[in-house]
């Protein structure tokens, strides 16, 4: 197989705070292949957003620091420790991001057009007029009606869904190879969510880009992803294709997540949840980090768990029981 587009190896992003060292991301590895959609799933606080920011060197340092041995390779280029200039040339250009909060992710004092043209002029060296024409075209492409009028409007004049479309227009403006979407639909109404997901899937096809979709919503994952990485407590606990994860989940945590999905006409209509809460990144438990919440916890769980390879295609789970 050819080299993956993005290859993350043993990524450790620690925060050095007054309360201690928060190991928000603690040895995460995964890869994204050209043109595929990889989902990263997990509860709030499992480190998925920190992972996404760490890829482009966007974590505030200090307090954050990428620990020795962390590696992020994009098209053969090492990004950890790369100088700021190289990273800037990639950001918004070959790798771009869409964030969770469309309400606050756009600058309120600049027009939508200004914010899109800024990227075009920076990375593509377009002049003002060409960039503006391109911005109008992009707004049309992400499904904003009357783009020629909307281009001069300010973020506060647009709805949440429209703002997220603007964010996406901005992100795809330089035809990136990889789009990192951090909870792109979480803040939106359900109907709008579906539209945005559809838009992302369509853009992925037409532009041939890979998408790294970060979400806590398994429904979203099932809908758009090719492969899934499940994260818990700063680590990857299971990886596999969407079928693997949904049909044959190997890790108790993944099973718990799937079990807590509400289903229409489910028995008794009661919501099921995983008992307990995510531990604090300041004090990850010894041994299996999921042990305290795991229904199957037993003798083999006191030891730190390694990812167990399950067959080919990068399928793996961080649980000794998965071996059998």
Partner 1 sequence: MTKYLVRRLLGAIPLILGIATIVFFAVNLAPGDPTLYYISPGMTQEVVEQMRVNFGLDEPVHIRYVKWLGAMLTGDFGYSFSHSRPVLDVLADFLPNTLILSACALTVAFLFGIVLGTLQAIRQYSFRDSALSVVLLFFYSMPSFWLALMLILTFSLFARNVWEWPIWFPASGMMSTDYEFLSFGAKVRDRLAHLVLPTTSLACVLTAGIARYMRGSMLEVIRQDYVRTARAKGLSERVVVFKHALRNALLPIITLLGLFIPVLFSGTIFIETIFAWPGMGRTIYEAILTRDYPVVMAGSFFFATMVVVANLLADVLYAWVDPRIRYE
- Rule CB under 8 A: say whether 106 interacts with partner 1: yes
What angle separates helix 128-141 from helix 112-124, to the nearest 10 degrees?
120
Q: Which stretch binds partner 1 (CB under 8 A): 107-115, 138-146, 222-230, 292-300?
A: 107-115
- Rule CB under 8 A: say whether 37 interacts with partner 1: no
- Rule CB under 8 A: say whether 9 interacts with partner 1: no
Residue from 6, 56, 220, 250 touching partner 1 (CB under 8 A): that is 56
- Rule CB under 8 A: say whether 90 interacts with partner 1: yes
Q: Which stretch binds partner 1 (CB under 8 A): 16-24, 25-33, 116-124, 189-197?
A: 116-124
Cα(275)–Cα(268) distance, integer angstroms: 19
CA-closest candidate to residue 290, choices 281, 306, 279, 300: 279
- Contacts of 75 by beta carbon, 8 Å cutoff, 6+ apart: 3, 5, 94, 177
- Rule CB under 8 A: say whether 167 interacts with partner 1: yes
Query: In the complex with partner 1, which residue's Cβ is closer, 14 or 99?
Result: 99
CA distances from residue 38 to 178, 201, 252 in whole angstroms, order as listed: 11, 12, 21
- Rule CB under 8 A: say whether 122 interacts with partner 1: yes
Q: Which two tokens stand for residue 262?
A: 């509400």
Query: In the complex with partner 1, which residue's Cβ is closer, 118 or 217?
Result: 118
Residue from 63, 77, 89, 202 touching partner 1 (CB under 8 A): that is 89
Least distance (Å) from partner 1 to the CB of residue 140?
Answer: 21
- Rule CB under 8 A: say whether 125 interacts with partner 1: no
CA 240 to chain centroid: 16
- Rule CB under 8 A: say whether 91 interacts with partner 1: yes
Query: In the complex with partner 1, which residue's Cβ is closer, 22 or 180?
Result: 180
- Rule CB under 8 A: say whether 88 interacts with partner 1: yes
Least distance (Å) from partner 1 to the CB of residue 55?
Answer: 11
- Rule CB under 8 A: say whether 93 interacts with partner 1: yes
Least distance (Å) from partner 1 to the CB of residue 207?
Answer: 18
- Rule CB under 8 A: say whether 165 interacts with partner 1: no
Cα(223)–Cα(55) distance, integer angstroms: 25
Cα(317)–Cα(252) distance, integer angstroms: 10
End-to-end CA distance of the chain: 28
Query: In the complex with partner 1, which residue's Cβ is closer, 96 or 235?
Result: 96
Q: Please give the residues from 271 up to 300 whose contact with partner 1 meets the rule CB under 8 A.
A: none
Half-sphere exposure of 147 (CA within 13 A, CB side): 18
Q: Which two tokens stand for residue 281?
A: 């990144």
- Rule CB under 8 A: say whether 58 interacts with partner 1: yes
Compute the C-alpha angle 203/209/210, nearest 5°. Answer: 110
Query: What is the per-residue DSSP string for 61-121?
Result: TTTEEEPTT-EEEETTEE-TT--HHHHHHHBTTTEEEE-S-HHHHS-TTS-HHHHHHHHHH
- Rule CB under 8 A: say whether 231 interacts with partner 1: no
Least distance (Å) from partner 1 to the CB of residue 34?
Answer: 21
- Rule CB under 8 A: say whether 48 interacts with partner 1: no
Contact residues toward partner 1 (CB under 8 A) are 56, 58, 84, 87-93, 96-97, 99, 101, 104-111, 118-119, 122-123, 154, 156, 167, 170
């Amino acid at each position: 197989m050819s080299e993956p587009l993005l290859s993350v190896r043993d990524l450790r992003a620690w925060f050095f705070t007054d309360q201690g060292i928060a190991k928000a991301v603690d040895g995460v590895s995964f890869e994204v292949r050209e043109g595929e959609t990889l989902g990263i799933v997990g509860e709030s606080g499992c480190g998925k957003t920190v992972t996404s920011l760490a890829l482009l060197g966007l974590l505030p340092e200090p307090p954050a620091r990428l620990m020795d041995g962390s590696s992020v390779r994009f098209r053969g280029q090492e990004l950890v420790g790369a100088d700021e200039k190289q990273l800037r040339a990639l950001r918004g250009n070959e790798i771009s991001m869409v964030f969770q909060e469309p309400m606050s992710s756009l600058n309120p004092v600049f027009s939508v057009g200004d914010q899109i043209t800024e990227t075009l002029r920076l990375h593509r060296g377009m002049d003002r007029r060409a960039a503006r024409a391109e911005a109008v075209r992009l707004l049309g492409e992400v499904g904003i009606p009357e783009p020629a009028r909307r281009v001069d409007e300010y973020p506060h004049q647009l709805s949440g869904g429209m703002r997220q479309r603007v964010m996406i227009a901005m992100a795809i403006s330089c035809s990136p190879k990889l789009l990192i979407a951090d909870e792109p639909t979480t803040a939106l109404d359900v109907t709008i969510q579906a539209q945005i997901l559809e838009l992302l899937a369509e853009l992925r096809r037409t532009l041939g880009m890979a998408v790294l979709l970060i979400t806590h919503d398994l429904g979203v994952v099932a809908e758009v992803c090719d492969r899934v990485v499940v994260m818990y407590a700063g680590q990857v606990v299971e990886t596999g294709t969407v079928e693997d994860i949904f049909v044959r989940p190997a890790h108790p945590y993944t099973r718990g997540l799937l079990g807590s999905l509400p289903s229409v006409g489910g028995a008794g209509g009661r919501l099921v949840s995983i008992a307990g809460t995510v531990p604090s990144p300041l004090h990850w438990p010894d041994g299996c980090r999921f042990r305290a919440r795991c229904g199957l916890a037993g003798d083999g769980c006191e030891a730190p768990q390694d990812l167990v390879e399950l067959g080919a295609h990068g399928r793996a789970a961080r649980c000794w029981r998965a071996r059998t």
